[in-house]
Amino acid sequence: MFTSPHTIAIVLILGTTTCARGAELPIFDAHIHYNQDAWEAVPPKEAIALLRKAGLVRALVSSSSDDGTQKLYAEAPDLIIPELRPYRTSGETSTWVRDESIIVHVEERLKMYKYVALGEFHVSGAKADLPVVRRIVQLAKQHGLMLHAHSDADAVERMFRQDPEARIIWAHAGFEKPPRVRETMRRYKNLWVELSSRGDVAPNDHVAAEWLEMFLEFPDRFMVGTDTFTTERWNIVGSNASSVRKWLAELPVEVAEHIAYKNGESVLTAGFSERR
Ligand SMILES: [Zn+2]
C-alpha cells in the first residue's frame, strides 16, 4: 500500500497536516552506548533521566564494557533493551575480529545475562568471514539473537551467506549510498536499517526524496538512533530525538510511527520479553 505512484504526491499534501502528531511521537532509540568513560560524567540515574526527558520509550543499549549496559538495565528495565557488545574496552573496535578471547568473553556473558542482540560490532568486507566473526554469527543463531552490525553492504551479505536466517540491524545503513541500501534491503528481508549519523536522510530537516521512497517501500524496516559513542554525545540525545521528530512529521502518520518506535517495539522488544 505504500508503494503506489500516487503515494508521494499524497505524502507531500499530508506533510503539513501530520506535523502536530509528529511533534508528540515517542521514540525507540536503537543506538545507545553507555561506555566506561561515560559512567562518571553521566551516572546511571542521570543517564536514564536524560533518555526519558528526550521522550524515548525504549533504548537498545550496548556498551564497552557490557557492564555499562547492565548498570542502565538495572536502573530502568522498562526502558532499556540490552544487547551484548563483544568489546571489553573501547579500544577493541578493530582488533576484535582476530581475537579468539572475545568468544570466551561473549559466551560467559551470554550465560550471565539476557540480551536481544549481539552488537553493535564493527566489521567490513572480507573480514566478516574471519573465524571470530563467523562464530559470533553462529552464537546469534544458537541463542536466537539478532546481529547489530556497523558494516558495509559487502560484510552484511557475507553474514547472510553464513546464516541465511540471520536477523541483522544495520547500523547507520552501513554508511552506504541510498541505492545500495535499497538494493540490499530488497535482497534480505531480515535486514532492519538504523539511521543514526545519516545527515543525508533529512538535510535541513526535510526528508530527501530517495530516502522517502525507501521509507514508503519498507515502512516496517527502519529505526532511528543517536549513537552515544562518546560521552559528549549524551548531550545530544534530546536534540537528536527532536530533529528526528521534525523530519518524521513529513511522512504519513502511520509510517512515521513505525519508524519512530513501532518497528523497534515489534522487532526488538517482542523478542526480548519472551526471554525475560
Ligand atoms: Zn555505535
Cell of 251: 511522512
What's the CA-to-centroid distance between 171 and ligand 1, angstroms? 7
What's the CA-to-centroid distance between 32 and ligand 1, angstroms? 7
What's the CA-to-centroid distance between 271 and ligand 1, angstroms? 21
3 state DSSP class of 224: strand
Sort residue 193 into left (φ over 0), alpha (ψ -120 to 50) or beta.
beta
Alpha-carbon distance 210 to 187, whole Å? 18
Q: Which residues contact 243 (CB under 8 A, 6 or more apart)?
A: 202, 205
Q: Per-residue pLDDT tens for 202-237?
A: 998 899 999 999 999 999 999 999 999 999 999 999
Band the pLDDT of 275: cuts 50, 70, 90: low
Q: Per-residue pLDDT tens for 115-159?
A: 999 999 999 999 999 999 999 999 999 999 999 999 999 999 999
What's the CA-to-centroid distance between 17 and ligand 1, angstroms? 34
What's the CA-to-centroid distance between 15 and ligand 1, angstroms? 31
CA distances from 159 to 6, 58, 96, 126, 134 (A): 36, 27, 16, 10, 8
The per-residue pLDDT for 276 is: 58
What's the CA-to-centroid distance between 124 and ligand 1, angstroms? 14
What's the CA-to-centroid distance between 240 and ligand 1, angstroms? 15
Tell the burial category of 153 from Cβ atoms under 10 Å away from its Cβ (0-12, 13-18, 19+): buried
What's the CA-to-centroid distance between 167 and ligand 1, angstroms? 18
CA distances from 239 to 55, 191, 229, 246 (A): 11, 27, 16, 11
Q: Per-residue pLDDT tens for 12-70?
A: 444 444 444 444 799 999 999 999 999 999 999 999 999 999 999 999 999 999 999 99
Q: What is the pTM of this model?
A: 0.90
What's the CA-to-centroid distance between 120 and ligand 1, angstroms? 6
What's the CA-to-centroid distance between 227 and ligand 1, angstroms? 5
